[in-house]
Amino acid sequence: MLNFVANTTYRAMEWITKLVYLQMLWLLFTMMGCVIGGIFPATSAVFTITRKWMDGEEKPVFKLFWQIYKRDFLSANLLGYMLLLIGYFIHADISHFHNVVLNYISHILALAFLVVIVYIGPVFTLYDTNVIQQIKYAFVIGVMKPLKTLLMIANLIAALLLMMTFVKLIPFFCISLLAYLLTRISYTVLPVKHAQNAGGKTL
């Protein structure tokens, strides 16, 4: 019993340390890209490294982060800003449409957009394809795995509420914790072998 508690505590502390370090790298590389150019490739690196850790891969983290950041710089920014634009238009529709039917359609689109958001990070790290295909993959997988999707949305909301309650945790965990939770839940849904067969990313 004592060994179980000690091992569990050790693993938990190990992951906490990893996530804090990953968060610090995210902040550093986001600033390197003057925020607007760095936030999305840095986020891609966080998701990719989290996935590799879950696969049992242990490589020098800083070097790997830099390699992923460079590799995904253009594609991550293209995807990130496309999603921002889509989210903006959906929000604008909900805010301005007073017609019941159009408002209902806007809410359906918002729900579909949320499904894409929770899967897009894990999908982007695995599938080496164009932005439209990645968005499609994220949506289709989310619809086909409704229980996993609901669990991911619930974890996303819980993590955000935790950050809002303990604001001082935000600089240390906000992105890395979200990446960990979403990657952990989607891990069995997005196996590496399947992604490689579909043209997966390599590094």
pLDDT digits (tens, 9 = 90+) for 54-81: 988 989 999 999 999 999 999 999 999 9
Domain containing 177: what range? Answer: 2-197
Q: Is residue 203 part of a domain?
A: no
The answer to whether residue 34 sits within a structural domain is yes
Q: Is residue 42 part of a domain?
A: yes
- Residues 139-143, mean pLDDT to the nearest whole number: 95
Residue 75 lies in a domain: yes
Question: In the prediction, which pLDDT does 145 show?
Answer: 94
Asked, for residue 202, whether it belongs to a domain, the answer is: no
Q: What are phi and psi of 200, to 5 degrees?
A: -75, 160
The number of folded domains in the chain is: 1
Give the pTM.
0.91
Given the structure tokens 């229980």, which residue do they identify?
147
Would 147 be classed as within a structural domain?
yes
Residue 108 within a domain: yes
